């Protein structure tokens, strides 16, 4: 049986361990906090754990860095010499450019292969207590390929993600970062602005606003309850692509506002109808 290192046992790492239960891997887990490692063993998230990261990665055929973006980069470089020779290292980071270049460079020196991964899965919660086995079910997982990528390592990473019923999608690093700026990062900025526009007000107004907030507010703002540190890091490491997606949003926004200002409500109907059609088709493509 292949050994797999899960480095970091939060929502992503913990859910990965749960999804891998009963699959053909020995799951070795590392987390900084002792309580987290104990919880991971107790819940059957990993088969073995150690406080010593080198112990784990030196015997693993695949290592998955389930850490915040800066820690993925830092750990990949710091422990480069300790991964098993010929093994494959991947990650779950939401940006790929900032992670892939330094880690490819650092690991190749030791005969270790790096292939970036980004599973499109998550919730607004974080920590091992939020982990659940179905988190990844049916999710797309972007697997980033560069001119340096080993085809065998790419295949290994792809197969790994298929094991837990996700849908691997090969993509270039830059293309990935532009894509997720549009489909994910932009939404976090919009949700934040929505939340502030509604809830950042004087206490009397706030009381009424609370009464006026229902399902529409709840869902459009949900991801504002995500980890502020994580989202700061994601946007920090993808700033240019995020600003491109912002322009794309502003173009659409300003067009809609202009229509409303002009009281051209037939045109407004057309925009709403177009948006509904596009979203309903996306839902349909997902079988939702």
Site for its own copies in 158-177 (CB under 8 A): 167, 169, 171, 175
Please say which residue, 109 or 214, places its beta carbon nearer to its own copies.
214
Determine if 271 is a binding residue for its own copies (CB under 8 A).
Answer: yes
Q: Which stretch binds its own copies (CB under 8 A): 8-16, 44-52, 79-87, 205-213?
A: 205-213
Interface positions, 87-126, toward its own copies (CB under 8 A): 120-123
Q: Phi and psi for 84 in degrees, rounded to 5?
A: -60, 135
Compute the C-alpha angle 168/174/179, nearest 5°.
60
Q: How far is the CB of 230 from its own copies (least distance, A)?
A: 9
Tell me which long-range contacts 213-221 makes (C-beta under 8 A, separation of at least 24): 220/190, 220/191, 220/194, 221/191, 221/194, 221/195
**Shortest distance (Å) from residue 161 CB to its own copies:** 13
241 binds its own copies (CB under 8 A): no
Alpha-carbon span 213 to 210, nearest angstrom: 5
CB closer to its own copies, 85 vs 286: 286
Q: What is the per-residue binding string for its own copies in 39-78, x denoting contact by CB under 8 A?
A: ----------------------------------------
| Interaction between residue 251 and its own copies (CB under 8 A) | yes
Angle subtended at Cα 85 by Cα 80 and Cα 89, rounded to the nearest 5 degrees: 55
203-212 vs 186-199: helix axis angle to the nearest 10?
A: 120
Which residues 178-197 are close enough to bind its own copies by CB under 8 A?
Answer: 179-180, 182-184, 186-197
Q: Does 274 bind its own copies (CB under 8 A)?
A: yes
Binder of its own copies out of 26, 130, 174, 246 (CB under 8 A): 246
Phi-psi domain of 51 (left: phi exceeds 0; alpha: psi -120 through 50; beta: other): alpha
- If binding means CB under 8 A, how many residues of this protein chain bind its own copies? 88
Q: Binding its own copies by CB under 8 A: which of 24, 203, 211, 287?
A: 211
Rule CB under 8 A: is residue 268 a binding residue for its own copies? yes
The 8 Å CB, 24+ separation contacts for 27-33 are 28/3, 28/4, 28/56, 28/59, 28/60, 29/5, 29/56, 30/5, 30/6, 30/56, 31/128
Q: Does the protein bind its own copies through residue 273 (CB under 8 A)?
A: yes
- The site string for its own copies over 121-160 (x = CB under 8 A, - otherwise) reads xxx---------------xx-x------------------
Angle between helices 97-108 and 69-78 (to 10 degrees): 10
Select 163 or 262, whichever has its Cβ closest to its own copies: 262
* Dihedral Cα 194, 287, 117, 46, nearest 10 deg: 100
């Amino acid at each position: 049986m292949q050994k797999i290192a899960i480095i970091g046992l939060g929502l992503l790492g913990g859910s990965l361990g749960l999804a891998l239960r009963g699959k053909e891997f020995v799951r070795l887990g590392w987390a900084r906090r002792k309580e987290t490692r104990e919880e991971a063993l107790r819940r059957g998230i990993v088969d073995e754990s150690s406080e010593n990261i080198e112990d784990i990665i030196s015997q693993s055929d695949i290592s998955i860095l389930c850490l915040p973006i800066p820690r993925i980069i830092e750990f990949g470089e710091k422990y480069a010499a300790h991964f098993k020779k010929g093994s494959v290292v991947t990650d779950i980071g939401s940006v790929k450019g900032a992670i892939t270049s330094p880690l490819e460079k650092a690991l190749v020196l030791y005969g270790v292969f790096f292939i970036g991964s980004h599973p499109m899965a998550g919730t607004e919660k974080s920590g091992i207590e939020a982990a659940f086995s179905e988190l990844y079910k049916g999710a797309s997982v972007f697997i980033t390929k560069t001119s340096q990528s080993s085809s065998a390592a790419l295949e290994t990473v792809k197969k790994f993600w298929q094991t837990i019923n996700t849908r691997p999608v090969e993509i270039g690093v830059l293309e990935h970062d532009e894509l997720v700026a549009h489909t994910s990062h932009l939404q976090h900025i919009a949700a934040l602005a929505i939340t502030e526009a509604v809830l950042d007000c004087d206490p009397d107004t706030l009381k009424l606003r609370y009464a006026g907030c229902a399902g529409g507010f709840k869902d459009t703002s949900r991801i504002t309850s995500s980890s502020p540190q994580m989202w700061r890091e994601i946007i920090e490491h993808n700033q240019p692509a995020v600003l491109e997606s912002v322009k794309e949003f502003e173009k659409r926004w300003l067009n809609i506002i202009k229509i409303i200002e002009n009281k051209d409500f037939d045109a407004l109907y057309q925009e709403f109808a177009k948006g509904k059609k596009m979203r309903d088709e996306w839902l349909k493509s997902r079988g939702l």
